[in-house]
Structure 1
Amino acid sequence: MKISHYFEFEDHVTGGIHESVVHQRKMLDRLDLEYTVEPTLDADVFHCNLMGPRSVWYAKRARSRGVPVVANTHVTAEDFGDSFRFTNALAKPLSPYLRWTYGLADALVCPSEYNRDLIETYTDVPTTVISNGVDREKLEGFESLEAEYRERYDLSPPTVFLVGHVIKRKGLETFVELARRLPGLDFAWFGPLDLSLKGRETTNLIEDAPDNCTFTGFVDDIRGAYAAGDIFCFPTHEENEGIALLEAMTAGKPLLVRDIETFSWLEDGEDCLKVADAGADGFANALERLKDPTLRNRLGTNAARRSEAFSLSTVANRYRSLYDEVC
């Protein structure tokens, strides 16, 4: 079996979508499946990760030639807003475009049950939930970087942290407000800033953040973030799955998340703490609780155990089954 595993705009798209594609290709390697990263119809399956114009062109022709089309549903109109400049304006027309382009596939891969529920309002194409997975090997040895990264960013434990692109949708306003309310804790957001792509409101939040709130920008070794951070605080408003959250779990970090449908599979008080209210009060109260190292250790240990189900070696077989099914 040969797979055309295509990622349109590969040289320009970063963040979770890019990581997901990296994970998929590592899984294909584990499965010893032949694949090319070029778009081609000389394959048994055409698998695309972003429905840009070139992907649409190939998908339409693949269907006409009897080559099954598989597409990942990384993008939804719901999670597109509050990301970068102009994304709010584009979110509304994006919805009918995605309904059309996802409808060109024979099978859709959704990273979570929540994402599948959304996608099933877009199209009646069959859906399969396959997690983006977590690359456990990428995080190996992260503990050895603790002293280096704490010193680099002047962070004292317990450090509240987040990993990923700094965008409003991921709870930037709450994160900054928490740092302002809790001056005795250090807060660090590890990830690209890209201020030129941000709207004025997002830029102001970053620039006006208190001294105990650090935005590191791009870090050369992401393991350093999980070494220096103690409490993974993820007040995101909308998420399809969250690879950084899976990585934090793998690193044994306690999770503090907003109680949204995406995280319904997490158990409050067992492998995370959840905050239901919309403001910062609930998060501040939860962080006060998480000053207790015993609670942090229990939640982190349970999270690490839970993360094993998302390893690439476990998830990979679901792709093999899907390809066998569509061929």
Structure 2
Amino acid sequence: MKVLLYFEGEKILAKSGIGRALDHQKRALSEVGIEYTLDADCTDYDILHINTYGINSYSMVNKAKKMGKKVIYHAHSTEEDFRNSFIGSNQVSPLVKKYLVSLYTKADYLITPTPYSKDLLQGYGITVPIASISNGIDLNRFKRSEEKEKKFKEYFKINEEQKVIICVGLYFERKGIIDFVELARKFPEYRFIWFGHTPMYSIPRAIRTIVKEEHPVNVEFPGYIKGDIIEGAYSAADLFFFPSYEETEGIVILEALASKQQVLVRDIPVYKGWLEDKVNCYMGKTNEEFEELIKRLVEETIPDTRLAGYRVAKDKSIERIGHELKDVYEKVIDDERSGKKAQIRLEN
């Protein structure tokens, strides 16, 4: 079995969760011994596993179908998580949904990160079989390291007395960036750091203004930072606060959990079944609730959920994800073989 992993616009999307999903897929397939290629011109593959939905992605699907290849579409995107992102996203989101449905229905099988996103896709009227498989997490990469934590603290000049709250995400309203900044105003004694970057020309003026000018001095937007510094931040910070309104999973949450960090998220449907309030994380719905929880979590006056959170990440390790992907690949290949046998019997 050979799989073509196709990812359109890899350089552009490398800083996003979808970009990290591709890295996880490569690792996962290697872990279970499945041969893969990233060469879009390759023709000797069995399955096209496609991650993106641009014009070239559409062409790749059509090309694969004409060659008689099986197609698995990784449905990272929905209309719901496209809204409240780029300039004009809300106006064109119905068209995006229609386009996504046209693409996804060409596949032999769909993979999507959570039961929630699976429900959304089925709600679109899609009847293609769908498997819910996490994007996974590299536990070793996010294992606590004093050296990485030191690099993080030196980079941001953090002293031992300072309390630090972090978030990782694109500059989207959907990600809760407005709430993150508003809550930072309530805690001038804490440092709030938002890791991540989105080209300024692509986001609404209100969000550009917040990032560039209208935020309190205790909020920092250092941009996209990878490697030891961000990995050190995950474990060295006092809290990972992710107030996103809509996700298909949220790879950054898995990264925080794998770092044994205390996690605070918005109570939204995507977390049902794997995150549980006061058990492996804390959840809030309003800024008033977040304000109270941030204070109590940073000052450690309520129970710690780090170890239970780590167990969630462990259940979604890359090794486990590799086996789940392999199961879907084998099912698709077996279905093809069964179909060919049935066709031969009909012809005879």
Instruction: Answer yes or no: is the 8 Å Cα contact 1:189–1:215 preserved in 2.
Output: yes
- Are residue 216 (structure 1) and residue 222 (structure 2) matched? yes
- Are residue 35 (structure 1) and residue 58 (structure 2) matched? no
TM-score between the two structures when normalised by the length of structure 1 = 0.93
Instruction: Name 1:102's counterpart in structure 2.
Output: 104
- Are residue 5 (structure 1) and residue 8 (structure 2) matched? no
Amino acid at match of 1:276: K
Q: How many percent of aligned residue pairs carry the same amino acid?
A: 34
Taking a change above 3 Å as real, the CA distance of residues 302 and 141 of structure 1, as seen in their structure-2 partners, is: closer
Instruction: Answer yes or no: is the 8 Å Cα contact 2:143–2:258 preserved in 1.
Output: no
Q: 1:316 aligns with which of 302, 315, 322?
A: 322
Instruction: Answer yes or no: is the 8 Å Cα contact 1:163–1:225 preserved in 2.
Output: no
- Are residue 130 (structure 1) and residue 133 (structure 2) matched? yes
CA distance in 1, matches of 2:236, 2:36: 37
- Are residue 283 (structure 1) and residue 284 (structure 2) matched? no
Taking a change above 3 Å as real, the CA distance of residues 63 and 148 of structure 1, as seen in their structure-2 partners, is: closer
Alpha-carbon displacement from aligned partner over 1:188-224 (angstroms, at most 9, x marks no partner): 1112253233221101222211011111112242213
Amino acid at match of 2:282: L
Structure 1 segments unaligned to the other structure (5+ residues): none
Instruction: Answer yes or no: is the 8 Å Cα contact 1:149–1:227 preserved in 2.
Output: no
Instruction: Name 2:247's counterpart in structure 1.
Output: 239
CA distance in 2, matches of 1:55, 1:194: 23
Q: 2:256 aligns with which of 248, 257, 261?
A: 248
Instruction: Answer yes or no: is the 8 Å Cα contact 2:235–2:256 preserved in 1.
Output: no
Amino acid at match of 1:300: R
Instruction: Name 1:274's counterpart in structure 2.
Output: 283
CA deviation after TM superposition for structure 1 residue 141, in Å: 4.9
SS in structure 1 of the partner of residue 193 of structure 2: strand
SS in structure 2 of the partner of residue 54 of structure 1: helix
Higher Cα Rg: structure 1 or 2? 2
Single out whichever of 53-62 and 123-132 deviates more from structure 2. Answer: 53-62
Instruction: Name 1:174's counterpart in structure 2.
Output: 179
Instruction: Answer yes or no: is the 8 Å Cα contact 1:5–1:35 preserved in 2.
Output: yes
SS in structure 2 of the partner of residue 46 of structure 1: strand
Instruction: Answer yes or no: is the 8 Å Cα contact 1:41–1:67 preserved in 2.
Output: no
CA distance in 2, matches of 1:227, 1:148: 12
Taking a change above 3 Å as real, the CA distance of residues 294 and 305 of structure 1, as seen in their structure-2 partners, is: farther
How many residues matched?
324
- Are residue 189 (structure 1) and residue 191 (structure 2) matched? no
Alpha-carbon displacement from aligned partner over 1:248-285 (angstroms, at most 9, x marks no partner): 001111111110001122111111111123xx111001
RMSD: 1.8
Instruction: Answer yes or no: is the 8 Å Cα contact 2:139–2:313 preserved in 1.
Output: no
SS in structure 1 of the partner of residue 147 of structure 2: helix
SS in structure 2 of the partner of residue 208 of structure 1: coil
SS in structure 1 of the partner of residue 163 of structure 2: coil
